[in-house]
Amino acid sequence: MDARTGQCTSEKYSYSGSLAPMNEELSMHFRGPTSLKQLAVYYPDTGSHGKRSIPANVHAHRHAHQHVHHAKREHALVGRAVGDMVTATINGQVVSWVNQYAGPGGTPKTPAAQPAPVQTTLAKSVGPPAQPSTISTPASSAAPDTSNPSPQGGVSSGSSGSWVRQAYYNAEAGTSDGFMFLNHFGGTKGTPGTADGGPAFGASLSYASSDGKSAAASPQILANKMIEDDVEVIVMSNKTCDGGSCGYTRPGGVAYHGFGGDHKLFMMEFSMPATGKKGFNADMPGIWLLNAQIPLTSQYGTNPGCSCWTSGCGEFDLFEILDSGNFRCKSTLHMAPAGGSSDYFKRPDQNTIKAAVLFTGSQEIAHIQVLDDSQKFDPSLAADVIEAMTKNSGNGGMSSVFRLAS
């Protein structure tokens, strides 16, 4: 990344693994109006005690991204993968179909032929080596080990079958352990981060203020209040990218690890209040995951050549409203190949819901499951609890299943 010219150099990089590239480290993104009450990340219990550290990332960086959560959302309804093959589990049966849904006002097109499974090949940066971050983190800073091999067979890959909580946020209690709350105002008003490179790269990551609306001089805990319309808060681990452990990151930027591995679970409690506001990104809440290399470099830059998103490095829209005031939360996978359907989750505008996003590398599946209101975010979850998340046994059987064939 050359800040003088706004240009990037890159080379091809091939991802591997049963969930590739979604087994890479991921960042969580929340756009208002969203009220986040609880958030947790779990990993299979390996029998060791305490939290695990992240090993050095063997990849040299795959750059930023110009996607539907990128520059401007005027293009939010473009590229909804019409004609792509979709594989899902409905009433316990695995079925496939050609996506015909083009979104509101969209025009269906002739279905494309089903793509054969291929190895995902993406661009990576060959820029200068990253400089170790000098930003300090809390003493409890840690994140899960992503080096464990993926098992073959069942969902649980730990020695005990249970899953252990590695990070937890509770809005009402005002506590957070293992998370870092960030946004995109790096280098503004003297705050940590950088805006070098101008619009081509956009501002780097920064520490988010407690309301997420501006940058902060140091890490803050997200306040127990609604994230406002068109405000985006990014959640990553509180493990710094020291010694180039995240690969190539934005020089001068705030840089933390995401959450990687073939087996991982994101749990969240949230609501998406209807504000009735009009205008750009108004009343359009969204929750999604990105390959962490995207926000670590240039999520909102205008130069698509500095983006691994354009080559399919991974975005997973979990609960996304596609136009102002809508009450249908869509789920879409943006990678190669993409996936989605006309199905939706009802927007939780009145009360909170609890949801699980479970990646099971041994099954090559990503599950989105609305949970029963009684579900607890305990320090550990038993194997049968995890297994239930892979079935339509949650809140009224509301679930979405994406099969990521290798």
The pairing of strands 26-31 and 286-291 is antiparallel
Average pLDDT along the chain: 76
pLDDT of amino acid 64:
30
Confidence of residue 189 (pLDDT cuts 50, 70, 90): confident
Instruction: Say whether pLDDT at 8 is over 90.
Output: no
- Residues 102 and 258: their CA atoms lie apart, in Å, by 31
pLDDT beyond 60 at 297? yes
Spatial distance between the Cα atoms of 256 and 183, rounded to a whole number of angstroms: 12
> Where does the pLDDT of residue 262 fall: very low under 50, low under 70, confident under 90, or very high at 90 and above?
very high
Please enumerate in sequence order all residues whose Cβ is within 8 A of that of 397, keeping only pairs 6 or more positions apart, or say none. 91
Q: What is the mean pLDDT of residues 40-60?
A: 63
**Higher-confidence position of 355 and 101:** 355
Q: Averaged over 372-384, what is the pLDDT?
A: 96
Banded model confidence at residue 405, pLDDT cuts 50, 70, 90: low
The yes-or-no verdict on residue 10 having pLDDT over 60 is yes
CA atoms of 311 and 181, how far apart (whole Å): 27
> Where on the phi/psi map is residue 75: left (φ > 0), alpha (ψ -120 to 50), or beta?
alpha
Answer positive or negative: Cα dihedral of 16, 180, 62, 81: positive
> Is pLDDT of 101 > 50?
no
Q: Residue 14 above 90 pLDDT?
A: no
- The arithmetic mean of pLDDT across residues 27-38, rounded, is 98
The residue ranking higher by pLDDT, 283 or 197, is: 283
Q: Is the pTM of this model over 0.85?
A: no
Q: Which two tokens stand for residue 5?
A: 């010219």
Q: How many residues does the structure list for the chain?
A: 406
pLDDT higher than threshold 50 for residue 151: no
Indicate the range of 51-55, 168-172, 239-243 predicted with least confidence: 51-55
Residue 222 has pLDDT above 90, yes or no: yes
What is the distance between the alpha carbons of residues 158 and 25, in angstroms, rounded to a whole number? 19
pLDDT for residue 285 is more than 70:
yes
Is 347's pLDDT higher than 60?
Answer: yes
**pLDDT classification of 160: cutoffs 50, 70, 90:** low
pLDDT at 258: 98
- For the chain, the first-to-last Cα distance in angstroms comes to 31
| Structural tokens at position 393 | 């046994």
Give the integer Cα–Cα distance in Å for 237 and 133: 14
User: Computed from CA positions of residues 295, 115, 319, 173, in that sequence, does the dihedral angle turn out positive or negative?
Assistant: negative
d(CA 299, CA 380): 33
Decide which of 232 and 62 is more confident.
232
In this predicted structure, the answer to whether residue 190 has a pLDDT above a threshold of 70 is yes
Calculate the CA 259 to chain-centre distance.
Answer: 9
Closest residue by Cα to residue 253 from 132, 72, 126, 143: 132
- The structure tokens 């405000």 sit at 231
Mean pLDDT over 363-375 rounds to 92
With a cut of 60, say whether residue 42 has pLDDT above it.
yes
The Cα–Cα gap between 113 and 202 comes to 37
Q: Answer whether 256's CB lies under 8 Å from 180's CB.
A: yes
DSSP strand pairing (315-320 vs 339-340): unpaired
Least confident of 82-91, 111-120, 203-212: 111-120
- Residue 312: which residues within 8 A CB-CB, separation 6 or more? 21, 120, 122, 334, 335, 336, 338
Residue 165 CA to residue 302 CA, distance in Å, equals: 37
**pLDDT reported for residue 47:** 74
Residue 239 has pLDDT above 60, yes or no: yes
Percentage of residues in the chain having pLDDT higher than 70: 68
pLDDT band for position 345 (cuts 50, 70, 90): very high
